Amino acid sequence: MTLSYDQAIEELLHAGVRLHARGWVAATGGNLSHRLDDGSVAITVSGRHKGELVADDIMRVGMDGAPLDGKKPSAETPLHTGLYRLRPEVNAVLHTHPRASVVLSFVRADAASVTLTGYEFLKVFPGIESHDARVTFAIFPNTQDMAALQRQVNSWYAANPASPPVYLVRGHGLTVGAATVDAARYTTEAVEELLAYELERGRF
């Protein structure tokens, strides 16, 4: 991966517009990031509207989540850096608040994970070649304690190393990591669509 900070900013701004158009980062919800070549991370500044981002709304943090340029990062920054530390293949992380993901996390109130199978669309996940595959990702309880949440994420991936870099936080949202911003956005679209299928099936 060779990507300048300016290129990372361009990609995050573009993703913000697209994600907002789908209604998945309403108001100031969500946060978007990109791993940089020097090991730091470009990430959205706290409280900015993701559909109206400008270059100044992106900042740099270290892999420990600490700001490198005096701006204030989102409170959820540790979830981004946590996923980069866990998964070396992940270069972009998109955290959104999409409707089907949030509602399904409540409908499956006691579930610690969701397993999807039988859907042709599962082939969007790297390495999946058939609708018969089973894809499982975690549902974590929501908390304002990001360090505690990241400890749960770390435990999940230690126990489930093949699980994709995708997880839900109940009543909160969806976090997706991928090799590129576009790939993370496509996976976000696919997961939200798959979970909308699951919700719809649950009505019959």
Site residues for Zn ion per CB under 5 A? 173
Task: Tell me whether residue 173 or residue 177 sits nearer to Zn ion (CB atom).
Answer: 173
CB of 173 to Zn ion, least distance (A): 5
Task: Tell me whether residue 73 or residue 173 sits nearer to Zn ion (CB atom).
Answer: 173
Distance CA 90, CA 75 (A): 20
Report residue 203 CA to chain centroid gap.
27
- Picking from 16, 17, 21, 22, the residue whose alpha carbon sits closest to that of residue 34 is 16
Task: Tell me whether residue 94 or residue 183 sits nearer to Zn ion (CB atom).
Answer: 94
Task: Tell me whether residue 82 or residue 173 sits nearer to Zn ion (CB atom).
Answer: 173
Radius of gyration for the alpha carbons in the chain, expressed in angstroms and rounded: 16
For 66, phi and psi rounded to 5 degrees?
Answer: -80, 135
CB of 38 to Zn ion, least distance (A): 27
CB of 75 to Zn ion, least distance (A): 9
Sequence letter at residue 131: H
Using the structure block, give the residue that is written with the tokens 């949030």: 102
CB of 22 to Zn ion, least distance (A): 16
Task: Tell me whether residue 3 or residue 195 sits nearer to Zn ion (CB atom).
Answer: 195
Distance CA 74, CA 180 (A): 21
Report residue 39 CA to chain centroid gap.
19
User: What would the two tokens of residue 180 be?
Assistant: 């590129």
Please report, for residues 35, 48, 108, the alpha-carbon distance to residue 157 in angstroms, rounded to integers and kept in the order given: 20, 30, 21
CB of 168 to Zn ion, least distance (A): 11
CB of 175 to Zn ion, least distance (A): 8
Task: Tell me whether residue 3 or residue 76 sits nearer to Zn ion (CB atom).
Answer: 76
User: What would the two tokens of residue 171 be?
Assistant: 């009543």
